[in-house]
Structure 1
């Protein structure tokens, strides 16, 4: 997939899905789907393109950094899986923010992107002071002969699927809701770095995971996880595994900094420098302080047993790990 932040290097003409797409959740996929409809051989040929903004407009206006469900590398991977051919990251600056909706369509979508089709969500807003709406975009697009599709809001049990709802569910440890809204398991992708190696001393060696600084973290605690191990971020998958992950400050050993530690079950081998893709499958328990290391060891063993039971039950039900 071609990724660019320069309008001078965009592949044209385009069919454009517009939005921020943090999480690339089930609602976002409904916005992207219409621009994937045409395939090579159709006339006219176009590049299925997602147009997003960097930094996030809210980050630009508030001056505060914003954590992301899908940092750029994850967003690229998710969009590529959907079949998107191009990701355009529009630099969100004062000039872009000052464009009226009509100017945005004419200068960005028509002249630079040569859009032949546009898709947005029902709640999409754009242009100066967010005065442009999805229905307004339809009207402007029609003046240029561009078909604009408005994807309806995606609901589950009457609740709207949104990035905000996913964040809230992750903060409360409700993985069933978060993963359902995402349409997949929430993932942490990072490199294994040197830790204090305390897990080895109690019989549970762990891999310390270093994530992108902007990655949104779920509730502190212990999770049952599925793990894919790669030589590097771009390399082929080495081996899948299951395990438990602890996200927290390790209060039993008076830890002073937050760490992400993954213990792989039935694994042997050096993980340092390798990339792990950790899928969060079940929240097992909150972080807690134990009276002794023996109590901690007993609880970790219980956590491992719970994870084994979870994945064994899934295999029995026919799910593929």
Structure 2
């Protein structure tokens, strides 16, 4: 999948899903799905007549690239000046979009110039001139342009003058709850992994490289992989989780226990993410590990001795095995 932060290097023409898409949750996927539908030959022929793109290799008709257009940094971060942790940092977002079949991800630099564009200019300059849009899909609550004055219906009206189809996707709900990134964040902060995963439509994932740690787990008989995550990754509640772990280039899920916290029993000062693979042994240093959370087992706590900590880890592992086994059988 092609990833660019400059419209000048985007592959065109495009069929665009437009939004922030933090989390790539069920509602986001509904917005992306319409641009994955093949464009008709009549639409391709019209593009060729207009000379809006080079021809696809081995074809008389131009290729139209399925594209997700998002903003970086997040507009809320730009206006507030405060760093914003993301449910899906760039590597995770790209991975999930690639699996969906998206051809490219365009990360529009959200700066003062972009923020000052009127809705009309945003369509004329960004969508038409720079990205060669043929179709655009947005959520019902999409806002754009200076002061967020443009609505999804405004986008449809403006784009119609350029012959661009605009699909407005209704808001998605789950169990009568509106699906939103903020709702997922609330669930993760409270340790309600079941709710977070239900809203996402997939397990909440942490993707990181395995780096050297203090090796305390190995001394206790439970070797752990210490994960280095992107600095802008949104972390759930501190505590112990059952999870499935995946090694790079290996589709087989491995049952795991993950601890997120400061390790108070040994007076840890820094927050760490440590993953113990159940009934598995091997060298993980330098590898990329994907951890998919399944359930919150317990909050982090301080024990009065390493023996008490070891006994609790045994219980955590057994509880994780039972939880993951029940999930497989369900």
| TM range, smaller chain | over 0.9
Q: 1:32-70 CA deviation, whole Å, 9 max, x = no partner?
A: 111111169674141111111111111111111110000
Q: CA deviation at 1:8?
A: 1.6
CA contact (8 A) 2:191 2:296 kept: yes
Q: Which runs of 5+ in 2 are unaligned?
A: 45-62
Q: 1:92-144 CA deviation, whole Å, 9 max, x = no partner?
A: 11111111000100111111111111110011111001111111111111122
Find the counterpart in structure 1 of residue 205 from structure 2.
187
Alignment of 1:1-321 (within 5 A): 1-38=1-38, 43-44=43-44, 45-230=63-248, 236-237=249-250, 240-317=253-330
Superposition TM-score, scaled by structure 2 size: 0.92
The whole-number CA distance in structure 2 between the counterparts of 1:275 and 1:190 is: 6
Residue 253 of structure 2 aligns to a residue whose secondary structure is strand
The whole-number CA distance in structure 2 between the counterparts of 1:186 and 1:40 is: 36
Q: CA deviation at 1:237?
A: 1.9
Residue 226 of structure 1 aligns to a residue whose secondary structure is strand
CA contact (8 A) 2:294 2:324 kept: no
The whole-number CA distance in structure 1 between the counterparts of 2:149 and 2:312 is: 54
CA contact (8 A) 2:137 2:168 kept: yes
Q: 1:202-247 CA deviation, whole Å, 9 max, x = no partner?
A: 11111111000000000000000111122xxxxx228531111100
The whole-number CA distance in structure 1 between the counterparts of 2:235 and 2:323 is: 23
Residue 136 of structure 1 aligns to a residue whose secondary structure is helix
Q: Number of residues paired by the alignment?
A: 312
The whole-number CA distance in structure 1 between the counterparts of 2:289 and 2:309 is: 25
Q: CA deviation at 1:312?
A: 2.2
The whole-number CA distance in structure 2 between the counterparts of 1:149 and 1:238 is: 35
The whole-number CA distance in structure 2 between the counterparts of 1:307 and 1:42 is: 54
Superposition TM-score, scaled by structure 1 size: 0.94
The whole-number CA distance in structure 2 between the counterparts of 1:42 and 1:202 is: 66
Q: Which runs of 5+ in 1 are unaligned?
A: 231-235
